[in-house]
Amino acid sequence: MNYEVLYPGSNALIHAELEPYEELKAESGALVSRTASVSVSGSLHGGLWRSMKRAFLGGESLFFQTLKADKGEGTVLVAPAVPGDVKILPLT
């Protein structure tokens, strides 16, 4: 997966290029656009009670979207729910 931040600052977007069968998880409503080769499915992440706790105490969405390139390579654009910058943090 290759990704970059477009328009850094208050109108930031993440442009991600997915290889076949790669997937990206995002909060519900974060998807701005996708190519036809990317499927979208929604789910509760961590079960009902954990999702409700995260939504009510953390202000996050109850549902998550899984964006999967299941028909070949695909491209997605995702953005935060409210205007603001995006920072990419490497996970180790």
Residue 83 has pLDDT above 80, yes or no: yes
Asked, for residue 36, whether it belongs to a domain, the answer is yes
Asked, for residue 85, whether it belongs to a domain, the answer is no
Asked, for residue 46, whether it belongs to a domain, the answer is yes
Helix (H) or strand (E) holding 55: helix 47-58
Asked, for residue 7, whether it belongs to a domain, the answer is yes
Spatial strand order of the sheet with 2-6 comes to 2-6, 13-18, 74-78, 31-34
Asked, for residue 89, whether it belongs to a domain, the answer is no
The per-residue pLDDT for 36 is: 96
The per-residue pLDDT for 56 is: 62
Residue 87 has pLDDT above 90, yes or no: no
**pTM: predicted TM-score of the whole model, two decimal places:** 0.76
Given the DSSP bridges, would you call strands 31-34 and 74-78 parallel, antiparallel or unpaired? antiparallel
Note the pLDDT tens digit of each residue in 15-43: 999 999 999 988 888 899 999 999 999 87
- Domain extent, residue 19, equals 2-78
Residue 45 has pLDDT above 80, yes or no: no
